[in-house]
């Protein structure tokens, strides 16, 4: 029998060059420090000006959100989430894993972002707004409008109704694009992978969104969506694997976070490092946020991506340097995880290149542990998140408890300053999960309390 080849090397040779792959193939939880971290700047042409332009666009739309989504009124039409200390959960984690987490732990509650209840309310909504603004300008609507509140009007909807939007998704991206797209008047089609939860599909259909279901995984749903959209010139395809607009939408989180840290009187500098743990699927959301954070805080912020043991596509893409030329299936993993938001077998190479030198590392987490954190967070802080959103909680534990994490701290002279560290765990989704489903997650956490 011939050897299985991957980009000119046999699987055995890849395993020899990157021994960690052996553990990954055994579905073990791993921690990987990025050897390319801190190298010269990235493989992306995006700049800080691009991030500023994106922030300004979101600000222009604030009057629209205040009108069309009254839940955003309290925050003046800006879609943002709380940043909160979680001392009780920190204590619980320390007890459970018998370690001390130097510094303090906070959670960024993107689980409770308005409109679509996940991190996708950043990138996804941003790309639709950019499209809407572009089309409105082309139809001469913007010069007539007094404020952007007019985007919530029959006149605008009648124009957007002539256009369609398509997207491939494991669930949450479809949810955010579907909700904002339909509200503006677009015809939206969401191509959902097999992992997508039934309630997300039903919710979208209720809002008049066309949902097409696939029995295959995310990459296939995207591919098919892309193919269908390209045959229609008035259709805009939102490409989760390649979109710089999505990426920039996510990146605007950084300057917002800076303000929240200032308000909490939390400094980020050489003596006060900031560690951020971001659940990762295709890479766009954690990548965009990392890109923004590195511009904001430079070498004083350390960003780690979290993936399920069954879907470590970003880790494998980075470690091998193969980016989207490798999938988790190439290493005999099946990409089956309860963390639907992270069920991605092949990473974005656009993002992979953009964060090649910005990413501190990646780690993986077993599905069972996601549920166990879910329960602990509910018990200790009364916070409820979906399984994907719990992946980051393993970050501080692995960074401090794992030898590879300790290596990272040593290599970057952080052993001393880590006592002043802040650890931000990015809680990426959950507030829209129906109550009875959240309850079943919680019960699962009780049954498998590890």
Ligand X SMILES: *Cc1c(COP(=O)(O)O)cnc(C)c1O
Binding site for ligand X (CB under 6 A): 118-120, 172, 279-286, 341-342, 344, 386, 388-389, 428-429
Which residue's CB atom is positioned nearest to ligand X?
281
> In angstroms, what is the minimal distance from the CB of 364 to ligand X?
14
3-state class of 343 per DSSP? coil
Q: Which is nearer to ligand X, 77 or 281 (CB)?
A: 281
Q: Which is nearer to ligand X, 173 or 409 (CB)?
A: 173
**C-alpha to C-alpha distance for 440 and 422, rounded to whole angstroms:** 32
Would residue 413 be called left, alpha or beta, if left means φ above 0 and alpha means ψ between -120 and 50 degrees? left
What b/e sequence results for 369-380 when a residue is b if at least 16 CB atoms lie within 10 Å of its CB, and e otherwise? bbbbbbbbbbeb
> In angstroms, what is the minimal distance from the CB of 286 to ligand X?
5
Q: Which is nearer to ligand X, 118 or 335 (CB)?
A: 118
> In angstroms, what is the minimal distance from the CB of 128 to ligand X?
16
**C-alpha to C-alpha distance for 71 and 59, rounded to whole angstroms:** 16
Q: Which is nearer to ligand X, 280 or 333 (CB)?
A: 280
Let me know: does 39 contact 357? Beta carbons within 8 Å.
Answer: yes
**C-alpha to C-alpha distance for 444 and 309, rounded to whole angstroms:** 18
> In angstroms, what is the minimal distance from the CB of 342 to ligand X?
6
Q: Which is nearer to ligand X, 219 or 428 (CB)?
A: 428
> In angstroms, what is the minimal distance from the CB of 25 to ligand X?
22
Could you say which DSSP state residue 197 is in?
-
Please name the residues in contact with 400: beta carbons below 8 A apart, sequence gap of 6 or more: 99, 100, 101, 102, 406, 409, 418
Please name the residues in contact with 130: beta carbons below 8 A apart, sequence gap of 6 or more: 57, 245
Please name the residues in contact with 15: beta carbons below 8 A apart, sequence gap of 6 or more: 21, 22, 25
Q: Which is nearer to ligand X, 117 or 273 (CB)?
A: 117
Rg of the chain (C-alpha set): 21
Q: Which is nearer to ligand X, 62 or 128 (CB)?
A: 128
> In angstroms, what is the minimal distance from the CB of 275 to ligand X?
18
> In angstroms, what is the minimal distance from the CB of 93 to ligand X?
20
């Amino acid at each position: 029998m011939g050897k299985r080849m991957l980009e000119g090397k046999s699987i055995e040779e890849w395993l020899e060059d990157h021994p960690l792959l052996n553990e990954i193939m055994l579905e073990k939880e791993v921690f990987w420090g990025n050897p390319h971290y801190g190298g010269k700047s990235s493989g992306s042409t995006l700049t800080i000006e691009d991030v500023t332009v994106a922030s300004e666009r979101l600000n222009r739309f604030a009057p629209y959100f205040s009108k069309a989504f009254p839940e955003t009124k309290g925050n003046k039409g800006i879609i943002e989430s709380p940043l909160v200390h979680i001392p009780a959960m920190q204590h619980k984690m320390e007890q459970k894993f018998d370690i001390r987490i130097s510094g303090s732990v906070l959670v960024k509650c993107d689980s409770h972002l308005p409109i679509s209840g996940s991190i996708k309310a950043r990138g996804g909504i941003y790309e639709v707004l950019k499209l809407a603004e572009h089309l409105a300008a082309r139809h001469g609507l913007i010069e007539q409008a007094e404020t952007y509140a007019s985007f919530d009007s029959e006149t605008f909807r009648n124009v957007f109704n002539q256009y369609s939007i398509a997207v491939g998704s494991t669930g949450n991206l479809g949810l955010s694009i579907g909700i904002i797209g339909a509200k503006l008047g677009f015809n939206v089609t969401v191509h959902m992978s097999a992992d997508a939860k039934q309630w997300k599909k039903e919710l979208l259909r209720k809002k008049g969104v066309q949902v097409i279901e696939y029995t295959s995984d995310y990459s296939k749903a995207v591919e098919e969506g892309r193919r269908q959209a390209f045959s229609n010139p008035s259709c805009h395809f939102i490409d989760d694997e390649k979109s710089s607009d999505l990426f920039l939408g996510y990146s605007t989180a950084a300057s917002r976070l800076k303000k929240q840290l200032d308000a909490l009187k939390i400094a980020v500098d050489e003596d006060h490092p900031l560690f951020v743990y971001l659940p990762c699927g295709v890479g766009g959301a954690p990548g965009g946020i990392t890109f923004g954070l590195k511009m904001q805080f430079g070498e004083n912020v350390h960003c780690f991506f979290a993936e399920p043991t069954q879907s470590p596509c970003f880790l494998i893409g980075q470690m091998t340097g193969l980016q989207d030329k490798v999938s988790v299936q190439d290493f005999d993993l099946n990409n089956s995880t309860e963390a639907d938001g992270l069920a991605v077998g092949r990473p974005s190479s656009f993002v992979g290149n953009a964060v090649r030198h910005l990413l501190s590392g990646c780690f993986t987490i077993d599905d069972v542990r996601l549920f166990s954190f879910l329960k602990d967070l509910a018990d200790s802080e009364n916070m409820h998140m979906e399984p994907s959103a719990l992946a980051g909680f393993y970050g501080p534990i692995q960074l401090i408890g794992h030898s590879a994490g300790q290596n990272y701290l040593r290599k970057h002279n952080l052993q001393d300053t880590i006592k002043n560290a802040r650890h931000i765990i990015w809680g990426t989704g959950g507030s829209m999960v129906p109550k009875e489903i959240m309850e079943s997650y919680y019960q699962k956490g009780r049954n498998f309390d590890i």
